[in-house]
Each structure stands twice: as structure tokens, then as C-alpha cells.
Amino acid sequence: MMFLLEATISGLMAGVMYSLVALGFVLIFKASGVFNFAQGVMALFAGLTLVGLMEKFSLPPWAAIIATIAVMILLAWLIEFLVLRRLVNQAPIILFMATLGLAYVLEGLGDILWGSDVKLLDIGLPQGAVDWLLDDYNLYVERLEVAAAVTAVIMVVVLAVFFQKTRIGRALRAVADDHQAALSVGISLRTIWVIVWSVSGVVALVAGIMWGSKSGVQFSLSLIALKALPVLMLGGFTSIPGAIIGGLIIGVGEKWAEIYMGPIIGGAIENWFAYMLALAFLLVRPQGLFGEKIIERI
Amino acid sequence: MNLKQLTLGLAAAAAMTGSAYAYELTVPTLDYRTGPYAPNGIPFANGFSDYFTLLNERDGGINGVKIKLVPCETSYNTKKGVECYEKTKNAGNGALFYSPLSTGMTYQLIPKVTADGIPLYTMGYGRTSAANGKVFKWVFNVPMTYWDGATVAVQYAADKSGGMDKLKGKKIALVYHNSAYGKEPIRTLEVMSKKYGFELKLLPVDHPGQEQKATWLQIRRDRPDWVFMWGWGVMNQVAIKEAASIRFPMDHFIGVWWSGSENDVLPAGAKADGYKALAFHAPGADFPLHKDIIKYVYDGGKAVDPSYKDRVGEVLYNRGLVNALWAAEAIRTGMNIHKTKEPTAAQVRDGFEALDVSEARLKELGLPGFTFGVKVTCANHKGPGKVAVQSWDAKAKKWSIVTDFYQPMDDITGPLVEEDSAKFAKENNITPRECK
């Protein structure tokens, strides 16, 4: 029973880590309808930049984080200036392809700027098991994942306040609801895109910090996007709570599957099981758990 | 003959008899300097390239013939690796051998090199049964195979437990990369599990291995006595951190030689102290050869990756270095056997098959005590198969070899090699050669 509890908690925690990546996808898709394939690489790029600034310029973590946020905002502006504004009114698949190209450009840029080595990321986040739980209750919970869960909660609250209570947040929601209507009331689509890509860049930084603290910052970080896809399919591409709930379901589902079904059918089923679970949900709710149901009149 | 003709004639004669021989030995390098496995691919590629560059700069090449490296980026992607092979096999004067540093690529390239007549040198990786030279004429995996490694890991565990008979009832878990590479030791460990009575638990980890919580929860639940790991890339770093988190004793956690580099242990910090890995050569840069590399390659401005100077001597750098060294000796041997300065791939194959790099020769080459002597024969393409165990000192941030080189258990692996190579021969209509 204790082991099941442990597996469930670990699944929930892993799910939060997936959600951190999924949130970035949701933000951009919600505001612009663009599926940003480069989100995983943005997490990698942010992580590389953070470690690079700390190592090369001996910046303390807080200063490096602020500088990295500035870099991600600059990156968002560049993406809008060099890519997005030239593709306004293009079909979604064109914008998707542009983000595919962007992923390769960012990966190459990260390599040129900061190199391909594994980089240690230590900004003081707790590591290892929670000792008192392990010693007193024989319950294994990873401290880094607890920190990730707390961070995710804070981030969701901040994003919710930003979207609901601020002028820019309301503008973002207006653009998400109807581009034309938003433009007609004077909302600048370009400004909104820069803002939303900046926010997404900050989310990518948080994901990069958490995943980078777990395994070192290295190029395999770009593949964490693959972990976020089933979360999005399940939670819906437009829902922030969906990204969180979806992450939790995927996290627990894949851990249970690997531990209890894996030994029977050969193991290493985590990855495809997550997709299978998401596909099963899609059959019932194509828009995902919390996604907006799209009804188009012909 | 006027003065001009005399001058031209003398110049031509000088060019022909001088040290600069116009013919170049073509060596394709299937590197991976990009992608998720780049942190492992780069040190290896640097060591490999630096050795050949050193030979060019210090010795004028091999037997006076310069080496031309033809790099091709594979990103550790089997499909790209095969494309690289096709693209480079006719480059320059024709590829003399391939070392793809990938078991997946090796499996794809075996039929191709066999058809094209180019030696494939998979040093300590690839298809284990290629050790049988009677069947795999073009493939060499000297100095040992994964199956040798598996027998040594078990022997080490047995030594620490009080003998082979003490393995009965013990639990050994194999955490492996869910790929052709990671699955290689399973057959040997299954046979040993039956013979010595230990319980074997198989725990595959999918590429790239960033998330392994379920695997380590199972280890926590089952409490194996030993964990062996056949990992690569980020999988190693995450596994070592996870093991530390669940407080699995590091001195009972043994990685294969591809799971024992500085990259693998540094992210876990102090908690990786005592982690073990198999090894077939020394770490470090305290050898005359390394000093020459710094002098001729890095200080001479000839390095492929000049920023790497401070990391010369890391485990995977030395791995690439020794791969290049044994291959260069095979080329030299082939040139000597056939008394030529323009060897073909087939002649280099003969060089691989007559490869004999003794410890005395290693000393001459600037690597005294770096590894054991190797000798390849027609029937035995894997060489001596010896493996030691190295341990990580987290405080000093250094690997050290902590055992003598173990002999592999040929009584276990021999029949398996015969069985697997016979199966391959049958499937591919190969009649095994006679070896004297």
C-alpha cells in the first residue's frame, strides 16, 4: 500500500514537471493559435543561457535569472519581428512549420553560444529525498519535485491573476477569443504576440531550471516537449488548469503502467502509454478535458 | 638541359622523395557533435581526431603517409549514420575503416561493409558475436565485448560477496537503454543467472532516459543487491542521481564502460562518490602521448575543437584516443604486411586481423600502462576481452581504476558467440572461413 502511495506521489510530481513544459505551449496556442514546436528547445535555450551566464560572468543565480528573463524577452521580440509578423494571416500549418524551423535555429544558436556539454545547474534548489519522510515513514518523495510542484502552483496563480486582473491579460484573452474583434478595438496583435512569447519564454525558463536541476542542462532537454504533448492532448491546448490536471493524470498513469504493467509486457512502456492514454481521452473528448469545444458553421 | 628545366626537375624529384607523400589515407569519422548525445559524442570524437592529427603533425602520418579525416555528423541517429557511410565510403582514396560509435549503426552497417569490403571497427560496442572472425570477416570489436563486460561485472559482484557460490539467491537488476545497445548483455546475464542462481531483474529505460522514476521506484521496492547499468547519454546522469536519491549504495552500482565518464557522475555531485564503472583503459592525461597532443595538436593550432584543451584526458576522450590508436596500428600493420604506402580497405582489414599492440608497443606509442596488450587473430576478432573496474571519487572529481584487469568468462560467452554467429551465418548464407 505504501508503495502504491509512493508510486502515485512520484507520478503526480513527475506530472507537474510535464505540466511546466505544457504550460508554455498552452499560453502561445491560447493567444495566437500557433502550436509552438520550439517550446522544448526554448526550455533548453533558457537553461543554457542561465548556466552560461552564471559560469562565464560569475553571476549569482538571482542576477542570472533576471538576465535570462531579459534574454527570453529579447528572443520573443526577435521571433515576432523576424518570423511572426511576416506570417500574419498565413494558415496555421505555415506558422507551425515556422516554429519547427525556429526549434532548429534555437538549438544551433544554443550550441554556438554555450556549447554542447552537460552543464551543472545549481541555483540552490533542494535535491535528494525528503529525509524525514524517508526515515520516519519509509516514504520516498523527491525534494526537487516538491519544489517544482510549489513553483507550478505559484506560476498558475500568477498567470491566472495576469490573465484575469490585468489590462494586458484581458487584451490577451480578447485576442485569443477573436483576432479581428480585438484588432477592431485597438489591441495591437504584434504587442500581444511579443508579450505572450515573453511569458512563454519565462515559463520555459522555469521548466529549464527544474529539468536542468534534475539531469544537468544538456541538449536532451529539448526532447521534454515530447512529454508535454500527451499532457496537452489530454488537458486541452487552451486550458492552463488543463495543462496541470493533464500532467497529473499522465504522470500517475504512466508510473502505474510502468510499474504494474511493464514487467508483464516487457517494460519501457511509459512513453507510449502516455500517448495511448491521451488518445483514449481524445476519442471521448476531442478537445481534451478542458479545451474549448470548437463548433464551426458551414 | 637549361637552368629552368634543371630547377623544375630537382623540385619534382624533391617532392617525390621528400617526407610529404602525396597519397592520403582516408579515414571517415562518424561523429555526433550535435543532438541529445553530443556531450558523449564530442569527447570521443575529439580524442579520435586528435590522435590522427598528432600522427600527421608529429610523424608525418602513418609510415610517412598523411591521414585525411572526413567528418560526417550522425547525431547518434542510425539513419543519418547509414547516410554518412554511403556519403563517405568513396571519399578521397576510399574509406579505410569505420568506427560509428553506435551499436544501432553497427547492426545496419555490418551487411554493407561486408558487401563493400571495408573493415568495421566497433571497439567495445556493436554486435558481440562479431568476435567470431570466421563468420564476421570484416568486423572487429577488439579489445572486448559487452558479453565479456557482463561476465566481469558479475565476477566483481561475486568477489565483493565472497565468491561465485555466494551469488546464489542474490538479486541483480539490469537498468538498460531500451535499444540494440542496451539489450546486448541480457543473454549473457540470463545464462549466468541460471548457472549461479542469482535472480535477474530487467529494467528497460526508453530513449533518452530523462524520466526514470518508475524504474528506481521498482529498485527501491525490490532492493536488488547489485544494479548493473547499460546506459548512454542523459540516461546515465539521471540514473545516478535517482540511485543517490533512493539511497542505493553507490559501491553496488556498476555501469558499463559507456556509463562511466565524468559527464555521467558530475551532475549527482558528492552523492555519486563510490559509483563504479567497467573500464578497459586508464583515465587522465598523465601520459607522454597526451603531452604530445597538447604540444602538436592544441598548441600547434590544429585541434578540431580548440576549446577542449583543458579536458584532454577525460574518460571518453581517452576512449576515442585509444580507438584511433588501435585503428592506426591496424593501418600500419596492413601497410607493412602488403609493403605498400597506398593501402586498400581490404589490406587494412588484414592489418586489423594481424593487430598486435603489446604493452611494450603501447609504451613506444606514449601510453605506458594505459591498457593491456591486444592481439587479434583470424578467428578471434575481440582480442583478450579483459575489463577492470573504476571508481568515482566525487571529492577529487577523478576516476581511478580500483581492480586488476579481470579475465572474461569465455566458458560462458564462447558458446553464446558460436550460437549467435552461426545463426547470423545461416540467415545470411555465409560459410564460415577456415582459420589456421
User: pLDDT tens digits for B82-131?
Assistant: 999 999 999 999 999 999 999 999 999 999 999 999 999 999 999 999 99
% of chain B exceeding 70 in pLDDT? 95
CB proximity list for B377: less than 8 A, separation 6 or greater? B133, B353, B435
A3: chain B residues, CB-CB within 8 Å: 217, 221
Q: Are B231 and B204 in contact (CB under 8 A)?
A: no
The DSSP code for B405 is P
**Nearest C-alpha neighbor of A22 from the set A14, B212, A281:** A14
DSSP A246-257: HHHHHHHHHHHI
CB-CB under 8 Å, B210 with A224: yes
pLDDT at A33: 80
B37: chain A residues, CB-CB within 8 Å: 220
Identify the band that residue B4 occupies on the pLDDT scale cut at 50, 70 and 90: low
Which residues of chain B from 262 to 301 reach within 8 Å of chain A, CB to CB?
Answer: 263, 266-267, 269, 271
Give me the phi and psi of A119, to 5 degrees please. -115, 135
B233: chain A residues, CB-CB within 8 Å: 220
CA neighbours closer than 13 Å in the CB half-sphere of residue B427? 8
CB-CB under 8 Å, B206 with A214: no
CB-CB under 8 Å, B34 with A116: yes
pLDDT at B170: 97
Q: Is B90 exposed, middle or buried (0-12, 13-18, 19+ CB in 10 A)?
A: exposed
Maximum average pLDDT range among A14-23, A163-172, B15-24, B187-196: B187-196
How far is Cα B218 from Cα B263, in angstroms, rounded to an integer?
Answer: 25
CA A120 to chain B, closest CA, distance in angstroms equals 6
Does pLDDT of B413 surpass 80? Answer: yes
Nearest to A214 among B39, B238, B266 (CB): B238
How far is Cα B387 from Cα B144, in angstroms, rounded to an integer?
Answer: 8
Which tops the pLDDT comparison, B210 or B69?
B69
CB-CB under 8 Å, A268 with B205: yes
CB-CB under 8 Å, B210 with A223: yes
Cα B200-B205-B209 angle, rounded to 5 deg:
145
CA neighbours closer than 13 Å in the CB half-sphere of residue B208? 25
Q: Phi-psi region for residue B373, left (φ > 0), alpha (ψ -120 to 50) or beta? A: beta
Q: Report the residue of B202, B211, B271, B397 to disrupt the A interface, i.e. the one with the largest count of A CBs within 10 Å.
A: B211
In a domain, A44, yes or no: yes
In a domain, A249, yes or no: yes
pLDDT at A189: 83
Give the residue on A whose Cα is nearest the Cα of B244.
A128
In a domain, A241, yes or no: yes
Give me the phi and psi of B209, to 5 degrees please. 100, 25
Cell representation of residue A242: 488543463
Identify the band that residue B417 occupies on the pLDDT scale cut at 50, 70 and 90: very high
How far is Cα B314 from Cα B266, in angstroms, rounded to an integer?
Answer: 12
The pLDDT of B348-355, averaged and rounded, is 98
Q: Are B24 and B66 in contact (CB under 8 A)?
A: yes
Q: Are A142 and A123 in contact (CB under 8 A)?
A: no
Give the residue on A whose Cα is nearest the Cα of B221.
A3
Give the residue on A whose Cα is nearest the Cα of B238.
A215
Does pLDDT of B428 surpass 50? Answer: yes
The pLDDT of B392-419, averaged and rounded, is 96
Which tops the pLDDT comparison, B62 or A190?
B62
Q: Are B94 and B342 in contact (CB under 8 A)?
A: no
CATH number of the domain where residue A258 is located: 1.10.3470
**Nearest C-alpha neighbor of B240 from the set A31, A126, A216, A189:** A216
Q: Are B306 and B37 in contact (CB under 8 A)?
A: no
Give the residue on B whose Cα is nearest the Cα of A15.
B211
The DSSP code for B200 is E
Q: CATH fold of B146-279, please?
A: Rossmann fold (3.40.50)
Which residue range forms the structural domain that includes residue A270?
A: 2-284
Nearest to A223 among B36, B178, B247 (CB): B36
3-class state of residue B177 by DSSP = strand
Question: Can you give the pLDDT of all 298 residues of chain A as single tens digits?
Answer: 788 999 999 999 999 999 999 999 998 888 778 899 999 999 999 999 999 999 999 999 999 999 999 999 999 999 999 998 888 778 889 989 999 999 999 999 998 999 888 888 989 999 889 999 999 988 999 999 899 999 999 998 998 898 888 988 888 888 877 777 888 888 888 888 899 999 999 999 999 999 999 888 988 888 888 888 999 989 888 888 899 999 999 999 999 999 999 888 888 888 888 999 988 888 888 888 887 766 666 6
A191 touches chain B (CB under 8 A): no
A120 touches chain B (CB under 8 A): yes
B183 touches chain A (CB under 8 A): no
How far is Cα A218 from Cα A223, in angstroms, rounded to an integer?
Answer: 10
Cell representation of residue A191: 504587442
pLDDT at B9: 52
pLDDT at A224: 83
Note the pLDDT tens digit of each residue in B271-289. 999 999 999 999 999 999 9
A134: chain B residues, CB-CB within 8 Å: 247
Q: Which amino acid is at A101?
A: G
CB-CB under 8 Å, A111 with B237: no
Give kind and range of the element (H or E) at residue B154.
helix B146-161
How far is Cα A226 from Cα A98, in angstroms, rounded to an integer?
Answer: 18
CB-CB under 8 Å, A271 with B237: no
Cell representation of residue A158: 500568477
Q: In what order do the strands lie in the sheet with B199-205?
A: B199-205, B171-177, B226-230, B253-255, B276-279, B388-393, B398-401
In a domain, A40, yes or no: yes
CB-CB under 8 Å, B38 with A14: no
Does pLDDT of B15 surpass 50? Answer: no
A258: chain B residues, CB-CB within 8 Å: 214-215
Residue with cell 516514504: A139
Identify the band that residue B2 occupies on the pLDDT scale cut at 50, 70 and 90: low
The pLDDT of B187-211, averaged and rounded, is 95
The pLDDT of B62-70, averaged and rounded, is 97
Nearest to B267 among A3, A115, A120 (CB): A120
What is the CATH code of the structural domain delimited by B23-144+283-385+416-427?
Answer: 3.40.50.2300
Q: Are B242 and B217 in contact (CB under 8 A)?
A: no
Q: Which amino acid is at B357?
A: V
Distance from the Cα of residue B434 to its chain's centroid: 28
CA A169 to chain B, closest CA, distance in angstroms equals 34
pLDDT at B210: 87
Cα distances (angstroms) measured from residue A156 to each of A25, A125, A160, B140: 14, 20, 6, 56
CB pairs under 8 A between A and B: 114
Cell representation of residue B182: 542496451
Give the residue on A whose Cα is nearest the Cα of B206.
A268
Note the pLDDT tens digit of each residue in B371-387. 999 999 999 999 999 99
Q: Which amino acid is at A121?
A: L
Among A177-186, B189-198, B392-401, which is the least confidently predicted range?
A: A177-186
How far is Cα B293 from Cα B295, in angstroms, rounded to an integer?
Answer: 5
ipTM exceeds 0.90: no
Q: How many domains does chain A have?
A: 1
pLDDT at B20: 57
3-class state of residue A91 by DSSP = coil
B250 touches chain A (CB under 8 A): no
Q: Phi-psi region for residue B197, left (φ > 0), alpha (ψ -120 to 50) or beta? A: left
Does pLDDT of B1 surpass 50? Answer: no
Considering chain B, tell me which residue range(s) the CATH 3.40.50.2300 domain(s) occupy: 23-144+283-385+416-427, 146-279
CB-CB under 8 Å, A218 with B234: yes
Distance from the Cα of residue A228 to its chain's centroid: 7
Q: Are B117 and B138 in contact (CB under 8 A)?
A: yes
CB-CB under 8 Å, A215 with B263: no
**Nearest C-alpha neighbor of A22 from the set A255, A228, A188:** A228
How far is Cα B233 from Cα B263, in angstroms, rounded to an integer?
Answer: 9
CB-CB under 8 Å, A140 with B241: no
B203 touches chain A (CB under 8 A): yes
In a domain, A154, yes or no: yes
**Nearest C-alpha neighbor of B278 from the set B389, B163, B200:** B389
